[in-house]
Amino acid sequence: MKGIAMNAKRWLSLAMILGRGCLSVAAAELAVSHIAASPAMTEKSMIVRSVTPMHGAPYPAGTVRITYTSGFDGAEDWALFLPGDPDKNTIVYLHGSFSSADQIFTRNDVRDFWLTRIRDGRHSLLSVNLRGTAYMSPAATADLTALLDYCRDKLNCRRIVLLGGSGGASSAMAYAVIHPEKIDGVIAMGTCDLLQRLDFARKSEIPVLQKLAKTVFAAYGGSLEERPELYQARSVLAHVNRISMPMILTMGENDPLIPVAETRKIAAAMKGKSNFIYHEVPQGSHDAALWVDIDLETLQIRSTK
Protein backbone atom coordinates (compact mmCIF):
# COMPACT_ATOMS: atom_id res chain seq x y z
CA MET A 1 0.00 0.00 0.00
CA LYS A 2 2.99 2.34 0.46
CA GLY A 3 3.52 2.42 -3.30
CA ILE A 4 -0.12 3.27 -3.88
CA ALA A 5 0.04 6.15 -1.42
CA MET A 6 3.19 7.54 -3.02
CA ASN A 7 1.64 7.35 -6.50
CA ALA A 8 -1.42 9.17 -5.22
CA LYS A 9 0.69 11.91 -3.65
CA ARG A 10 2.63 12.42 -6.87
CA TRP A 11 -0.61 12.60 -8.87
CA LEU A 12 -2.33 15.06 -6.54
CA SER A 13 0.74 17.26 -6.18
CA LEU A 14 1.23 17.34 -9.95
CA ALA A 15 -2.42 18.21 -10.54
CA MET A 16 -2.28 21.14 -8.14
CA ILE A 17 1.15 22.40 -9.25
CA LEU A 18 0.01 22.45 -12.85
CA GLY A 19 -3.00 24.50 -11.78
CA ARG A 20 -5.69 22.11 -12.94
CA GLY A 21 -7.89 23.63 -10.40
CA CYS A 22 -8.66 20.94 -8.94
CA LEU A 23 -8.51 19.75 -5.43
CA SER A 24 -8.07 21.82 -2.35
CA VAL A 25 -5.19 20.90 -0.05
CA ALA A 26 -7.69 19.44 2.40
CA ALA A 27 -9.29 17.34 -0.33
CA ALA A 28 -5.88 16.20 -1.55
CA GLU A 29 -4.86 15.14 1.93
CA LEU A 30 -8.14 13.31 2.34
CA ALA A 31 -7.68 11.40 -0.90
CA VAL A 32 -4.11 10.45 -0.01
CA SER A 33 -5.04 9.26 3.45
CA HIS A 34 -7.91 7.26 2.01
CA ILE A 35 -5.74 5.54 -0.58
CA ALA A 36 -3.08 4.81 2.01
CA ALA A 37 -5.59 2.99 4.19
CA SER A 38 -5.66 -0.80 4.08
CA PRO A 39 -7.77 -1.52 2.11
CA ALA A 40 -9.58 1.50 0.64
CA MET A 41 -13.30 0.76 0.54
CA THR A 42 -16.59 2.51 -0.16
CA GLU A 43 -19.96 1.78 1.38
CA LYS A 44 -20.51 -0.62 -1.52
CA SER A 45 -17.38 -2.57 -0.54
CA MET A 46 -15.53 -1.62 -3.67
CA ILE A 47 -11.82 -2.09 -2.95
CA VAL A 48 -9.46 0.36 -4.64
CA ARG A 49 -6.32 -1.58 -5.52
CA SER A 50 -4.24 1.20 -7.08
CA VAL A 51 -4.30 4.81 -8.24
CA THR A 52 -1.52 5.36 -10.76
CA PRO A 53 -0.61 8.26 -13.07
CA MET A 54 -1.25 7.79 -16.79
CA HIS A 55 1.57 8.66 -19.17
CA GLY A 56 1.57 9.38 -22.89
CA ALA A 57 0.32 12.01 -25.28
CA PRO A 58 -3.41 11.15 -25.04
CA TYR A 59 -3.53 11.76 -21.29
CA PRO A 60 -3.41 15.29 -19.82
CA ALA A 61 -1.15 15.76 -16.81
CA GLY A 62 -2.94 14.66 -13.65
CA THR A 63 -4.87 11.80 -15.26
CA VAL A 64 -4.84 8.64 -13.14
CA ARG A 65 -6.04 5.08 -13.54
CA ILE A 66 -8.13 3.74 -10.66
CA THR A 67 -8.04 -0.05 -10.49
CA TYR A 68 -10.61 -1.62 -8.21
CA THR A 69 -12.23 -4.87 -7.15
CA SER A 70 -16.00 -4.87 -7.46
CA GLY A 71 -18.06 -5.31 -4.34
CA PHE A 72 -20.69 -6.98 -6.50
CA ASP A 73 -18.78 -10.13 -7.43
CA GLY A 74 -15.06 -9.52 -6.87
CA ALA A 75 -14.25 -8.82 -10.52
CA GLU A 76 -11.45 -6.34 -11.24
CA ASP A 77 -12.05 -3.30 -13.42
CA TRP A 78 -10.76 0.22 -13.87
CA ALA A 79 -11.60 3.85 -14.55
CA LEU A 80 -9.70 7.00 -15.48
CA PHE A 81 -9.93 10.24 -13.53
CA LEU A 82 -8.81 13.76 -14.42
CA PRO A 83 -9.38 16.31 -11.63
CA GLY A 84 -10.95 19.69 -12.25
CA ASP A 85 -12.76 22.42 -10.35
CA PRO A 86 -14.94 20.77 -7.66
CA ASP A 87 -17.44 23.60 -7.96
CA LYS A 88 -18.13 22.56 -11.56
CA ASN A 89 -20.11 19.53 -12.72
CA THR A 90 -18.11 16.31 -12.71
CA ILE A 91 -18.53 14.64 -16.10
CA VAL A 92 -18.82 10.86 -15.99
CA TYR A 93 -18.09 9.52 -19.46
CA LEU A 94 -19.66 6.21 -20.50
CA HIS A 95 -17.92 4.76 -23.55
CA GLY A 96 -19.59 3.29 -26.61
CA SER A 97 -20.09 -0.36 -27.53
CA PHE A 98 -16.97 -2.53 -27.82
CA SER A 99 -14.77 0.23 -26.48
CA SER A 100 -13.29 1.01 -23.06
CA ALA A 101 -12.73 3.80 -20.55
CA ASP A 102 -9.86 5.32 -22.53
CA GLN A 103 -12.10 6.12 -25.54
CA ILE A 104 -12.47 9.80 -24.68
CA PHE A 105 -8.67 10.08 -24.53
CA THR A 106 -7.63 7.90 -27.47
CA ARG A 107 -10.41 8.26 -30.09
CA ASN A 108 -9.32 11.46 -31.78
CA ASP A 109 -12.72 12.88 -32.77
CA VAL A 110 -14.24 12.26 -29.34
CA ARG A 111 -11.10 13.61 -27.68
CA ASP A 112 -11.04 16.75 -29.82
CA PHE A 113 -14.71 17.50 -29.26
CA TRP A 114 -15.58 16.35 -25.74
CA LEU A 115 -12.30 16.19 -23.84
CA THR A 116 -11.50 19.69 -25.09
CA ARG A 117 -14.82 21.02 -23.78
CA ILE A 118 -14.41 19.24 -20.46
CA ARG A 119 -10.95 20.73 -19.94
CA ASP A 120 -11.90 24.19 -21.17
CA GLY A 121 -14.78 24.17 -18.67
CA ARG A 122 -12.47 22.96 -15.86
CA HIS A 123 -14.69 19.97 -15.17
CA SER A 124 -13.45 16.87 -13.39
CA LEU A 125 -13.73 13.80 -15.60
CA LEU A 126 -14.37 10.21 -14.56
CA SER A 127 -14.28 7.82 -17.50
CA VAL A 128 -15.54 4.39 -16.51
CA ASN A 129 -14.91 0.99 -18.04
CA LEU A 130 -17.84 -0.88 -16.44
CA ARG A 131 -17.17 -4.38 -17.75
CA GLY A 132 -16.97 -3.46 -21.41
CA THR A 133 -20.23 -3.63 -23.35
CA ALA A 134 -22.61 -4.40 -20.48
CA TYR A 135 -25.25 -1.68 -20.98
CA MET A 136 -25.67 -1.11 -17.25
CA SER A 137 -26.11 -4.75 -16.28
CA PRO A 138 -26.64 -5.37 -12.54
CA ALA A 139 -22.88 -5.74 -12.03
CA ALA A 140 -22.11 -2.58 -14.01
CA THR A 141 -24.83 -0.67 -12.15
CA ALA A 142 -23.37 -1.67 -8.78
CA ASP A 143 -19.85 -0.75 -9.89
CA LEU A 144 -20.89 2.69 -11.14
CA THR A 145 -22.73 3.40 -7.89
CA ALA A 146 -19.63 2.47 -5.90
CA LEU A 147 -17.40 4.60 -8.14
CA LEU A 148 -19.67 7.62 -7.79
CA ASP A 149 -19.68 7.22 -4.01
CA TYR A 150 -15.89 6.97 -4.02
CA CYS A 151 -15.51 10.09 -6.16
CA ARG A 152 -17.90 12.08 -4.01
CA ASP A 153 -16.34 10.95 -0.74
CA LYS A 154 -12.66 11.00 -1.68
CA LEU A 155 -12.14 13.05 -4.84
CA ASN A 156 -14.33 16.04 -4.06
CA CYS A 157 -16.83 15.45 -6.86
CA ARG A 158 -20.11 17.13 -5.98
CA ARG A 159 -22.49 17.20 -8.96
CA ILE A 160 -22.51 14.29 -11.39
CA VAL A 161 -23.48 14.52 -15.06
CA LEU A 162 -23.46 11.36 -17.19
CA LEU A 163 -22.20 11.79 -20.76
CA GLY A 164 -22.35 8.99 -23.33
CA GLY A 165 -22.87 8.24 -26.99
CA SER A 166 -24.47 5.16 -28.53
CA GLY A 167 -23.86 2.34 -26.03
CA GLY A 168 -22.75 4.89 -23.47
CA ALA A 169 -25.99 6.78 -23.98
CA SER A 170 -28.02 3.60 -23.47
CA SER A 171 -26.11 2.98 -20.25
CA ALA A 172 -26.54 6.57 -19.07
CA MET A 173 -30.31 6.51 -19.51
CA ALA A 174 -30.58 3.08 -17.89
CA TYR A 175 -28.64 4.28 -14.84
CA ALA A 176 -30.78 7.41 -14.63
CA VAL A 177 -33.83 5.18 -14.30
CA ILE A 178 -32.26 2.88 -11.69
CA HIS A 179 -30.56 5.55 -9.54
CA PRO A 180 -31.97 9.02 -10.29
CA GLU A 181 -30.89 10.14 -6.82
CA LYS A 182 -27.21 9.58 -7.67
CA ILE A 183 -26.90 11.94 -10.63
CA ASP A 184 -27.58 15.55 -11.51
CA GLY A 185 -27.89 15.38 -15.29
CA VAL A 186 -27.68 13.18 -18.39
CA ILE A 187 -26.38 13.85 -21.89
CA ALA A 188 -27.36 10.87 -24.06
CA MET A 189 -26.28 10.97 -27.71
CA GLY A 190 -27.61 8.55 -30.30
CA THR A 191 -29.78 5.96 -28.61
CA CYS A 192 -33.33 4.85 -27.80
CA ASP A 193 -35.02 2.90 -25.01
CA LEU A 194 -32.95 -0.08 -23.85
CA LEU A 195 -35.66 -2.67 -24.55
CA GLN A 196 -36.28 -1.46 -28.08
CA ARG A 197 -32.62 -1.12 -28.85
CA LEU A 198 -31.78 -4.68 -27.87
CA ASP A 199 -34.84 -6.10 -29.59
CA PHE A 200 -33.93 -4.28 -32.80
CA ALA A 201 -30.29 -5.35 -32.52
CA ARG A 202 -31.02 -9.06 -32.14
CA LYS A 203 -33.37 -9.02 -35.14
CA SER A 204 -31.00 -7.04 -37.33
CA GLU A 205 -29.03 -8.51 -40.22
CA ILE A 206 -26.10 -6.24 -39.33
CA PRO A 207 -23.39 -8.43 -37.72
CA VAL A 208 -22.22 -5.82 -35.20
CA LEU A 209 -25.77 -5.41 -33.91
CA GLN A 210 -26.21 -9.16 -33.55
CA LYS A 211 -22.92 -9.27 -31.65
CA LEU A 212 -24.12 -6.39 -29.49
CA ALA A 213 -27.31 -8.19 -28.47
CA LYS A 214 -25.44 -11.41 -27.61
CA THR A 215 -22.84 -9.53 -25.58
CA VAL A 216 -25.39 -7.60 -23.55
CA PHE A 217 -27.56 -10.67 -22.97
CA ALA A 218 -24.50 -12.47 -21.61
CA ALA A 219 -23.79 -9.55 -19.26
CA TYR A 220 -27.36 -9.69 -17.96
CA GLY A 221 -27.38 -13.47 -17.66
CA GLY A 222 -30.21 -13.92 -20.12
CA SER A 223 -32.26 -12.46 -22.97
CA LEU A 224 -35.17 -10.04 -22.84
CA GLU A 225 -37.53 -12.98 -22.27
CA GLU A 226 -35.28 -14.75 -19.77
CA ARG A 227 -34.59 -11.73 -17.50
CA PRO A 228 -37.46 -9.35 -18.26
CA GLU A 229 -37.44 -7.72 -14.83
CA LEU A 230 -33.84 -6.55 -15.22
CA TYR A 231 -34.38 -4.90 -18.60
CA GLN A 232 -37.77 -3.47 -17.66
CA ALA A 233 -36.26 -1.82 -14.59
CA ARG A 234 -33.87 0.08 -16.88
CA SER A 235 -36.43 1.22 -19.44
CA VAL A 236 -36.98 4.97 -19.72
CA LEU A 237 -40.32 4.47 -21.44
CA ALA A 238 -41.50 2.25 -18.59
CA HIS A 239 -40.34 4.72 -15.92
CA VAL A 240 -40.62 8.23 -17.35
CA ASN A 241 -41.60 9.53 -13.92
CA ARG A 242 -38.17 8.58 -12.56
CA ILE A 243 -36.37 11.00 -14.87
CA SER A 244 -36.29 14.04 -12.64
CA MET A 245 -32.83 15.37 -13.50
CA PRO A 246 -32.04 17.50 -16.59
CA MET A 247 -31.59 15.32 -19.67
CA ILE A 248 -30.48 16.11 -23.22
CA LEU A 249 -31.11 13.47 -25.89
CA THR A 250 -29.61 13.93 -29.36
CA MET A 251 -30.16 11.75 -32.41
CA GLY A 252 -29.27 11.58 -36.10
CA GLU A 253 -32.34 11.52 -38.35
CA ASN A 254 -30.79 8.89 -40.64
CA ASP A 255 -29.07 6.76 -38.01
CA PRO A 256 -28.57 3.33 -39.67
CA LEU A 257 -27.99 1.47 -36.39
CA ILE A 258 -30.92 2.75 -34.32
CA PRO A 259 -34.39 3.54 -35.71
CA VAL A 260 -35.03 7.24 -35.13
CA ALA A 261 -38.71 6.40 -34.68
CA GLU A 262 -37.79 4.61 -31.44
CA THR A 263 -35.87 7.62 -30.14
CA ARG A 264 -38.82 9.87 -30.96
CA LYS A 265 -40.93 7.73 -28.61
CA ILE A 266 -38.80 8.93 -25.71
CA ALA A 267 -39.12 12.53 -26.88
CA ALA A 268 -42.91 12.12 -27.01
CA ALA A 269 -43.07 10.49 -23.59
CA MET A 270 -40.93 13.24 -22.06
CA LYS A 271 -42.80 16.08 -23.77
CA GLY A 272 -43.76 18.76 -21.32
CA LYS A 273 -40.88 18.12 -18.94
CA SER A 274 -39.06 21.42 -18.56
CA ASN A 275 -35.75 19.70 -17.86
CA PHE A 276 -35.77 17.55 -21.03
CA ILE A 277 -34.32 18.62 -24.39
CA TYR A 278 -34.53 16.57 -27.58
CA HIS A 279 -32.44 17.55 -30.59
CA GLU A 280 -32.55 15.67 -33.88
CA VAL A 281 -29.79 16.28 -36.42
CA PRO A 282 -31.38 16.59 -39.89
CA GLN A 283 -30.11 13.81 -42.19
CA GLY A 284 -27.57 12.96 -39.49
CA SER A 285 -25.79 9.61 -39.24
CA HIS A 286 -25.19 7.60 -36.07
CA ASP A 287 -22.19 9.71 -35.05
CA ALA A 288 -23.91 13.00 -35.87
CA ALA A 289 -25.59 12.90 -32.47
CA LEU A 290 -22.15 13.20 -30.82
CA TRP A 291 -21.26 16.60 -32.22
CA VAL A 292 -23.96 18.81 -30.75
CA ASP A 293 -22.32 21.57 -28.71
CA ILE A 294 -23.71 21.34 -25.18
CA ASP A 295 -22.77 23.52 -22.24
CA LEU A 296 -21.59 21.02 -19.62
CA GLU A 297 -22.48 23.31 -16.72
CA THR A 298 -25.93 24.60 -17.69
CA LEU A 299 -26.90 21.52 -19.75
CA GLN A 300 -28.19 23.68 -22.56
CA ILE A 301 -27.44 23.36 -26.27
CA ARG A 302 -25.08 26.13 -27.39
CA SER A 303 -24.89 25.28 -31.08
CA THR A 304 -26.45 22.74 -33.41
CA LYS A 305 -23.90 23.15 -36.20
What secondary structure does DSSP assign to the chain, as a single string? -HHHHHHHHHHHHHHHHTT-----HHHHHHHHHHHHSSSEE-TT--EEEEEEE--STTS-TT-EEEEEE-TTT--EEEEEEE---TTSPEEEEE--TT--TTHHHHSHHHIIIIIHHHHHTT--EEEE-TTSS-SS-HHHHHHHHHHHHHHHHHS---SEEEEEETHHHHHHHHHHHH-GGG-SEEEEES---HHHHHHHHHH-S-HHHHHHHHHHHHHHTS-TTTSHHHHHTT-TTT-GGG--S-EEEEEETT-SSS-HHHHHHHHHHTTT-TTEEEEEETT--TGGGGG-EEETTTTEEEE--
- pLDDT computed for residue 282 by the predictor: 96
Cα(297)–Cα(187) distance, rounded to whole angstroms? 11
- Residue 171 near residue 101, CB atoms below 8 Å: no
pLDDT at 8 over 50: no
CA distances from 140 to 133, 213, 262 (A): 10, 16, 25
The per-residue pLDDT for range 62-73, each reduced to its tens digit, is 999 999 999 999
What pLDDT digit, counting tens, does each position of 109-139 carry?
A: 999 999 999 999 999 999 999 899 999 999 9
What does the angle CA 295 – CA 278 – CA 102 come to, to the nearest 5 degrees? 55
251-278 confidence digits (pLDDT tens): 999 999 999 999 999 999 999 899 999 9
Nearest to 299 by CA among 173, 206, 184, 138: 184
CB contact at 8 A, 255 and 285: yes
76: pLDDT strictly greater than 90? yes
How many other β-carbons are positioned within 10 Å of the β-carbon of residue 279? 16
The span from the CA of 231 to the CA of 48, in Å, is 29
21-35, 85-99, 284-298: which has the minimum mean pLDDT? Answer: 21-35
Task: Answer for the pair 188, 154: CB distance below 8 angstroms, yes or no.
Answer: no
Predicted local distance difference test score (pLDDT) of residue 116: 98
pTM score, whole prediction: 0.86
Confidence check: pLDDT of 26 > 50: no
CA distance 61 to 126: 15
How big is the chain, counted in residues? 305
The yes-or-no verdict on residue 224 having pLDDT over 70 is yes
Structural domains of the chain in order of their starting residue, each with its CATH number: 2-303 (3.40.50.1820)
Give the pairing of strands 160-165 and 185-189.
parallel
